[in-house]
A and B are shown apart, each in its own frame.
Chain A
Amino acid sequence: MSKLPTNGGGAIVRAIADVIVENRAYLSEVDGKIGDGDHGNNMAKGFARAKERISDDASLGEAMHIVADVLMGEIGGSMGPLYGMFFDDMASAADNREYLDKQAVGDMLEAGCQGVMAIGEAKPGDKTLLDTLVPAIEAFRACDQDLHEALKALKHGAEKGRDATTDMVAKVGRSSRLGERSRGVPDAGATSCCMILTAFADGAARRLV
């Protein structure tokens, strides 16, 4: 139980899409408290379209490239490019590999994180999806057990990161204009990022060989 086959990874990505689509209203509600209330709508639109174009037997890289193309080509706003780069750079890291061991999964997540940072202006602590992503990857890397346990650590790190955004003041994006008024609610991007990482970890854990 220590490596993830990339073949058939399309099923993992389809499961991620399901979670986002199911949480459409919830994500918009979270966003509406300090943003413009369209996060769930945009994310659900993008992931629903991507899911239609992904088959369960697609490879992980192929499926993630499709998500990236839809997000960057059809969604726009801020989340299109941010999650677009996240999935595109993860996909590139998974391409041409039959299996991903623990190191390779960590590298793939790291590549996605670097993609987000390259396109956006946020740093950890700015109340964005990075505040879920960065501690989640750190927790994954810090886990000294096998990939199965590291995926659990990824989930826990993501949840802790998401929860920590509640007490942060937004430094970038539209909610940053609110200053102190942005404190007291979690960030919508951090919330959706936690859903994505959780669905990824659960989906990957089921497929380990």
Chain B
Amino acid sequence: MQRFVNNPDDIVDETVRGFIKAHADLVKLHPEHDRVVLSHQAGQRGRVGIVTGGGSGHEPAFLGYTGRNMVDAVAVGELFSSPTGKAFTEAVRAADGGAGVCVLYGNYAGDNMNVKLAQRMAAKEGIEVLTVVANDDVCSAPPSERAKRRGVAGEILMWKVGGAKAATGASAREVQIAAQKAIDACRSVGVGLSPCTLPANAVPNFEIAPGKMEVGIGHHGEPGMEVIDLENADSVADRMFDIVLDDHDLDAGDRVCVLLSGLGATPINELYVLYDRVANRLAEKQIAVHRPFVGNYFTSLEMMGATLTIMKLDDELASLIDAPAACPAMVVEARENQK
């Protein structure tokens, strides 16, 4: 495939530099670590710091969620590879304003280890570091092994809730509880239509044959539930919807936040085609969409496909999702006629 690329080894550094230049109103580079992106709010006295991080190639995740009342500091890894323990440590230090830090991240082996390293380093300096590990990807493990599930786009809603909770002046423990509640309320599924290729490699990381789709695919092409013939959009939307709903505890009268994200190469209009069907299915079941997000929120290089995340809301989660926030990937403005 054709790409905009210089030396593939430099692609992450160049991405970060361009990102900082484009969004200087909201973010800055850590002065001493070029793989840590900071919100201008980072380290504010008395407010719990929110940290995340992960491999690159998922833009706008992870760095795009750095901003006001969102994530304070993001550790940036190589493409599809966890950031270093050092990067997480510097992110934690920069985010700490004396009230502790919550690291809200996804369930991947490298991230688990590098966050653990950062926790050890920070503990030596007396910084309180609490963690929440996202595991919203339904197809990555059965419900009985939920702790093994990967974190995917539900992480965004977890950051939104965590950032909003921290902005209320809550304690680190309270922020951790709210973020845990947020991810526990999320279920996600992905469908892949084509593979993706690391720019330094000549061949794709995995295969999806023409005319096929992979249901339940992960954010790096991890194998899903099944590979089947490509169907029309409504059938794909139904399939995604049913996988999420079967794993969820949703009844008529419930409220949800819906996040439908492209995986990188799928045109945005096709996401709206999927969302049209998903919204209809929710309406049929008398489940109210409190707030939808449709767009490229969490991608996988140039994979074609989409993920669907549905988060069940109670009053607390709804108000935290609605709280004003601004980051390059997402802006939530105050509603004038809020109930």
Contact = CB atoms under 8 A, between A and B. Distances in A.
Interface centre among B86, B87, B112, B223 (most CB of A within 10 A): B86
A82 to B, nearest CB: 7
A76 B83 contact: yes
A73 B80 contact: no
A177 B112 contact: no
Contacts of A42: 81
B324 interface: no
A179 B243 CA distance: 21
Interface string A72-97: 11111110111010000000000000
B84 A80 contact: yes
A125 interface: no
A120 B81 contact: no
Nearest to B205: A36
A78 B82 contact: yes
Given A37-B201, A177-B218, A78 B109 contact: yes
B110 A76 contact: yes
B223 A178 contact: yes
A74 B77 contact: no
Interface centre among B81, B201, B222 (most CB of A within 10 A): B81
A38 B86 CA distance: 20
B112 A121 contact: yes
A177 B223 contact: yes
A80 B117 CA distance: 11
Contacts of B222: 174, 177
A142 interface: no
A77 B223 CA distance: 20
Interface residues of A, number: 25
Nearest to B148: A176
A74 B84 contact: yes
Contacts of B80: 36
Given A37-B201, A177-B140, A119 B117 contact: yes
Contacts of B77: 76-77
A172 interface: yes
A177 B77 CA distance: 21
Interface string B81-98: 111111100000000000
A173 interface: yes
**Size category, B interface:** 20 to 34
A116 to B, nearest CB: 10
Contacts of A120: 109, 113
Contact of A121 (B84, B109, B218): B109
B81 A81 contact: no
Interface in A149-186: 172-174, 177-178, 181
A62 to B, nearest CB: 19
Contacts of B114: 76, 80-81
A36 B108 CA distance: 14
Contacts of B108: 174
B173 interface: no
A73 B83 CA distance: 9
B322 interface: no
Given A37-B201, A119-B117, A177-B223, A73 B84 contact: yes
A84 B85 contact: yes
B81 A38 contact: yes
B198 interface: yes
Nearest to A35: B205
A33 B293 CA distance: 37
B116 A119 contact: yes
B82 A77 contact: yes
B11 to A, nearest CB: 14
Given A36-B198, A81-B117, A177-B222, A76 B109 contact: no
Interface string B106-137: 00111011101100000000000000000000
11 contacts: A36-B80, A41-B200, A72-B117, A76-B78, A76-B82, A76-B84, A80-B110, A81-B110, A84-B117, A121-B109, A172-B109
Given A77-B78, A80-B114, A81-B85, 11 more contacts: A38-B78, A74-B86, A76-B110, A76-B114, A77-B77, A77-B81, A77-B110, A119-B116, A172-B109, A174-B108, A174-B222
Interface of B: 77-78, 80-87, 108-110, 112-114, 116-117, 140, 198, 200-201, 205, 218, 220, 222-223
